[in-house]
């Protein structure tokens, strides 16, 4: 058994979902994808926050590959959309070669 980690970064210019993928090279027995951090912005003047969502969903393991989705949503009271920089780390329990 070997625990391996792969940091990954995502940039969003609008709310949405991006797919992530990490290939560990050997069979993955179990995986987790914790959120490490994020920075969000409307990019200009004062905004009244209405919605904020940053999440990791649909984590799946297929052989040596871990796939997942990163979801981002930021809107204010006037429906203006924001941007984000999001960091996750894919952690895999990987079989030895």
Predicted pLDDT of residue 49: 80
20 and 68 in contact (C-beta within 8 Å)?
yes
Neighbours of 6 (CB within 10 A): 16
SS3 49: strand
Q: What percent of the chain has pLDDT over 70?
A: 98
Dihedral sign from CA coordinates of 42, 46, 50, 56: positive
pLDDT averaged over every residue in the chain: 93
Predicted pLDDT of residue 57: 98
Instruction: Supply the DSSP symbol for 14.
Output: S
Predicted pLDDT of residue 42: 84
What are the structural domains, with CATH classification, of the chain?
A: 2-94 (2.60.40)
pTM comes to 0.90
Q: Which residues, given as ranges, of the chain have pLDDT below 70?
A: 45-46
CA distance 13 to 41: 10
């Amino acid at each position: 058994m070997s625990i391996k980690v792969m940091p990954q970064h995502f940039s969003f210019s609008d709310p949405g979902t991006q797919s992530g993928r990490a290939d560990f090279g050997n069979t993955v027995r179990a995986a987790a994808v914790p959120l490490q951090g994020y920075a969000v912005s409307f990019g200009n003047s004062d905004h009244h926050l209405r919605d904020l969502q940053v999440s990791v969903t649909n984590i799946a393991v297929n052989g040596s590959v871990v796939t997942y989705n990163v979801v981002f949503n930021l809107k204010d009271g006037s429906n203006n959309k924001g941007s984000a920089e999001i960091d996750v780390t894919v952690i895999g329990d990987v079989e030895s070669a």
